Structure 1
Amino acid sequence: MSETPMRLERDGGLAVLTIDSPPLNLFDRAMFDALVAAARELAASPPRALLIRAEGRVVSGGVDVHEFHGLTAETGADLWRLLLEPVQTIERLPCPTVFAAHGLTLTAAFELSLACDLIVAGRGATFGLVETVVGLTPSMGGPQRLAERAGSGRARELVMTAELFDAETLERWNVVNRVWDDGEVDARSRELAQRLAAGPTRAHDATKQIVRAWCDGGVGMADEVVPEVSGALFETEDLRTAVAAFIEKGPKHGTVYQGR
């Protein structure tokens, strides 16, 4: 276990955010504070890719219910404002983000995964939004981001039934991107994140902006942002270098992208 329940480490262009608060990696006040701090650090100094993972048998058993005891409508709203901030911050990072799930992934951890570009999981991983057991609805952005990925009907199903869903089911529903054997998740997710970190970071950010515009306003809004967002790429070092190398060497030009 680390000194804090969540630690942020850098490996070149890759940032790795690890949840590490055994035995259940519960989201309590200390975890909330660590998540907010990590998100702010990432926003202040964005990496070229982010991997979110967890140590231990589970990714997370969810939120420590003690955090909800005695809250009023006002203090509850303040809590959700606090917790939506890191979700939105991670979602808006100008780089690819990957969430790796190797086991049980409940409530806050599941919602955090939905802020990432890609969710990868082991075959034994299970996911759930089980807030109805204490009379709540998920409020860290989960329902709306599930609806964005899987449709509104599936979002209602996951939330209202409070059932657990395996990784392969969620892959079919377009929530999880890739499913691997359990023992491969850590290595393969890191390999994927490293590969994304070595790519044309500005182009990846442009992709995120275009897809976000589509999510917010459909094809029309996405088309509106393309000229400015994609046009700016012609002034990036990565594009200019890669185009010159392609002309000289062909498709297998082997350009090393710098993220600029």
Structure 2
Amino acid sequence: MTDRSILTERDGHVARITLNRPDRLNSFTRAMHGELREALANLDDARVVVLTGAGRGFCAGQDLNDRAVAPGEAVDLGQTVEESWNPLVRTLAALPQPVIARVNGVAAGAGANIALACDLVVAARSAKFIQSFSALGLIPDSGGSWHLPRLVGQARALGLALTGEPLPAERAADWGLIWKCVDDDALDAEVDGLAARLAALPPLGLAAIKSIIRTSSSRTLDEELDVQRDEMRRLGFTADYREGVAAFLEKRPPLFTGT
């Protein structure tokens, strides 16, 4: 349905979710958050999720018109963050599936930080990441103040957040903010190929990799070594591990079932 603000497609084990308000640079309304929550809660047997935007942009963050607040009136932004943006960031982090952000154009404000909340970000060379909060007297929400310094360090995080200077995708890749920058006409092939490769790998192993790396900063080295031992023990008893070893020894493609 083209009148929906969130479109979903399936290609085998790959779920593709498109933010579909191109006339508003895919900026979010409360209804749009509801549709996205529904899409992320109904992934069924998807092993990989691709999140992208329709038209010339990825996402411009919050649609300021959606609040219907007259100029000069007060609005509880914390309620918007608590009801909509925080649950989205938490969901992206908690999903067992790897989430690829296909950034096809500008990603600004919360839109930039939702991309950074995904597990892998592949951006078109023309794309830009903008922390546009300081111009409104706000802070980088939607996980921005957490992800930025961890990805690029405090100096660059402060520079991006304080100035709101657009960061081109190529520099974002050089800084380690995103996984990869590719030419615009190569974006679809790159993302589709990456999604297909991940979908063909053992899903339990991918889920474990995502979880252990995302939570490692909360543990000491000794604690991490114990978690690694426990995860290797658990995964070593899976059918997918046995299939992977058998396929390697028999020199054939593996067929993983997620068990």
Q: Same fold (TM over 0.5)?
A: yes
Matched with 1:259 is 258
Q: Please give the alpha-carbon distance, in whole angstroms, between the structure 1 residues aligned to 2:13 and 2:92.
A: 16
Match of 1:172 among 165, 171, 174: 174
Instruction: Return 123-132 or 205-214, whichever deviates more.
Output: 205-214
CA drift at 1:15: 0.9
Which digits, 9 at most, give the CA deviation of each residue in 1:121-151, with x for residues without a partner? Answer: 1111111110122211121111211222112
Which digits, 9 at most, give the CA deviation of each residue in 1:40-83, with x for residues without a partner? Answer: 334xx4621111111101112332223464454xx432221221
The answer to whether 1:61 aligns with 2:63 is: no
TM-score by length of 2: 0.90
Q: Please give the alpha-carbon distance, in whole angstroms, between the structure 2 residues aligned to 1:65 and 1:199.
A: 41
After superposition, residues 119-198 of structure 1 pair within 5 angstroms as 119-198=121-200
Q: Please give the alpha-carbon distance, in whole angstroms, between the structure 1 residues aligned to 2:86 and 2:185.
A: 32
CA drift at 1:16: 0.8
The code of the aligned residue for 1:15 comes to A
The number of residues matched between the two structures is 253
Q: Please give the alpha-carbon distance, in whole angstroms, between the structure 1 residues aligned to 2:166 and 2:222.
A: 36
CA drift at 1:194: 1.7
Partners of 1:206 and 1:230 within 8 A in 2? no
Matched with 2:34 is 33
Q: Secondary structure at the match of 1:137?
A: coil
The code of the aligned residue for 1:100 comes to R
Q: Please give the alpha-carbon distance, in whole angstroms, between the structure 2 residues aligned to 1:32 and 1:117.
A: 20
Q: Please give the alpha-carbon distance, in whole angstroms, between the structure 1 residues aligned to 2:80 and 2:45.
A: 25
Identical residues among aligned pairs (%): 32
CA drift at 1:177: 0.7
Matched with 2:8 is 8
The code of the aligned residue for 2:32 comes to M
Partners of 1:214 and 1:221 within 8 A in 2? no
CA drift at 1:30: 2.5
After superposition, residues 105-124 of structure 1 pair within 5 angstroms as 105-124=107-126
Partners of 1:97 and 1:193 within 8 A in 2? no
| RMSD, aligned CA | 1.9
Q: Please give the alpha-carbon distance, in whole angstroms, between the structure 2 residues aligned to 1:153 and 1:128.
A: 16
1:152–1:184 CA distance, 2 compared to 1 (3 A): same
Matched with 1:244 is 246
Q: Please give the alpha-carbon distance, in whole angstroms, between the structure 2 residues aligned to 1:211 and 1:202.
A: 14
Which digits, 9 at most, give the CA deviation of each residue in 1:1-38, with x for residues without a partner? Answer: 82211122222211111111122212222222222332
Partners of 2:140 and 2:161 within 8 A in 1? yes
CA drift at 1:218: 5.0
Q: Secondary structure at the match of 2:226?
A: helix
Partners of 1:6 and 1:35 within 8 A in 2? yes
The answer to whether 1:52 aligns with 2:51 is: yes
Q: Secondary structure at the match of 1:114?
A: helix
